[in-house]
Amino acid sequence: MAKYNEADSTSINLISNGTDIIGDIKSTGDIRIDGTLTGNLSIKGKVVIGPTGKVSGEVICKNSEVSGFIEGKITVEQLLSLKATSTILGDIASSKLAIEPGAKFSGNCKMIDGEKNGTTQAKEKESEKYNPKGS
How does pLDDT run across 68-127, given as a tens digit for each residue? Answer: 999 999 999 999 999 999 999 999 999 999 999 999 999 999 999 865 544 444 445 444
Q: What is the pLDDT of residue 118?
A: 46
Number of residues in the chain: 135
Q: What is the pTM of this model?
A: 0.76
3-state SS assignment for residue 64? strand
| Structure confidence at residue 132 as a pLDDT band (50, 70, 90) | low
Q: Is the pLDDT of residue 18 over 80?
A: yes
Candidate from 12-16, 34-38, 53-57, 58-62 with smallest mean pLDDT: 12-16
Number of Cβ within 10 Å of residue 102's Cβ equals 10
85-92: list long-range contacts, CB under 8 Å, 24+ apart. Answer: 85/51, 86/49
Ramachandran category for residue 23: left, alpha or beta (phi over 0 → left; psi -120 to 50 → alpha)? left
Q: What is the pLDDT of residue 68?
A: 96
Q: What is the pLDDT of residue 113?
A: 85
Q: Is the pLDDT of residue 35 over 80?
A: yes
Q: Is the pLDDT of residue 8 over 80?
A: no
